[in-house]
Amino acid sequence: MEEAILSARGLNLYYGENHALKDIMIDIPERRITALIGPSGCGKSTFLRTINRMNDLIPGVKISGSFTYRGEEIYAPGRDVTSLRRHIGMVFQKPNPFPMSIYDNVAYGPRTHGIRNKVKLDELVEESLRGAAIWDEVKDRLKKSALGLSGGQQQRLCIARALAVKPDVLLMDEATSALDPISTSKIEDLAAELKKDYTIIMVTHNMQQAARISDHTAFFLLGELVEFGETEQIFSMPRDKRTEDYITGRFG
Ligand SMILES: Nc1ncnc2c1ncn2[C@@H]1O[C@H](COP(=O)(O)OP(=O)(O)OP(=O)(O)O)[C@@H](O)[C@H]1O
Ligand SMILES: [Mg+2]
């Protein structure tokens, strides 16, 4: 059995009266890619946001049950959320670089964590941009605005920005859905490379993408985790009829 880095037991989330996550039980393995699939509104983004407590900011949210990260309760009273988010980075659907230089985008996180040394920052910036497979494309324009990059480059820059604080887990919510096929394929290759060092959890509406790059797949429906298993099994021999209907395109 692979080591689980994140474990949920009886995890429930309500937005007011709306029961958005129902009794979720899951063990997410470390240094693997886990894909979250399911029709619109089934709770994928909600689940992803429970991992780094991004739902905390939404008024009327109620969360119960157990959710641990490396054995410690994510929702324990007094948990340091800033530090949690430093370990668990996030990349969004729409690339969202800050309106500043490419260099400053990547140096932003490390600077807020107190790193001021120029040599150290230069090193971190280069390492992160290399890690996100965009160094060669930007190394001669580091001082130029990040907003001048293409969408695909901006998304890889956002990945570099997430990597710069040396996270442990990387959450991606439809991170390639706004990108062209070539940029998408670059990010997929990148994810495959990054899983050597990071645990990646990605929401995708693209079944081929889930089948191509994830090791494990979780199928959500109406707030329930219907099925979770090795991607190969989910796509070839789903145990639940609802999973089968979804992956064969009968609904969703
Ligand atoms: N900020 C919010 N406030 C209130 N309800 C919300 C909020 N975000 C999501 N919901 C509700 O929670 C449920 C799950 O939504 P969620 O965004 O997690 O779905 P999703 O699977 O990510 O869908 P999509 O594929 O369309 O992104 C839906 O009923 C949605 O309306
Ligand atoms: Mg979503």
CATH 3.40.50.300 fits 4-247, yes or no: yes
pTM: 0.94
Query: Is residue 63 within 8 Å of 23, Cβ to Cβ?
Result: no
Q: DSSP of 8-35, one letter per residue?
A: EEEEEEEETTEEEEEEEEEEEETTSEEE
Give the distance (Å) from ligand 2 centre to CA of residue 207.
15
Q: How far is CA 30 from CA 78, 179, 197, 198, 202, in A?
A: 25, 27, 9, 8, 14
What is the percent of the chain with per-residue pLDDT over 90, rounded to a whole number? 90
Return d(Cα 51, Cα 45) in angstroms, integer.
Answer: 10
**In the predicted model, is pLDDT for residue 251 greater than 70?**
no
Alpha carbons 118 and 165: distance in angstroms, whole number: 16
Q: Ligand 1, residues 42, 56, 172, 201: which to mutate, most atoms within 8 A of Cβ?
A: 42
Q: Is the beta carbon of 45 within 6 A of some atom in ligand 1?
A: yes
Candidates 25, 87, 24; CA nearest to 52 is: 87
Q: Is 42 in the pocket of ligand 1 (CB under 6 A)?
A: yes
Q: Where are the domains of the chain?
A: 4-247
Q: Is the CB of 82 under 6 A from ligand 1?
A: no
Ligand 1 atom index nearest CA of 174: 27
Indicate which ligand has the atom closest to the C-alpha of 92.
Answer: 2
CB of 199 within 6 A of ligand 1: the answer is no
pLDDT at 60 over 80: yes
Q: Which two tokens stand for residue 28?
A: 């997410």
Confidence check: pLDDT of 183 > 90: no
114 CA distance to ligand 1 centroid (A)?
35
Over range 140-167, report the average pLDDT: 95
**pLDDT exceeds cutoff 90 at 127:** yes
- pLDDT band, residue 252 (cuts 50/70/90): low
The 3 state secondary structure assigned to 34-85 is: EEEECCCCCCHHHHHHHHCCHHHHCCCEEEEEEEEECCEECCCCCCCHHHHH
Instruction: Find the 82 Cα to ligand 1 centroid distance in Å.
Output: 24
Q: Give yes or no for residue 21 CB within 6 A of ligand 1.
A: no
Ligand 1, atom nearest to 55 Cα: 1
- What are the Cα distances from residue 122, in Å, to 80, 104, 108, 116? 28, 10, 12, 10
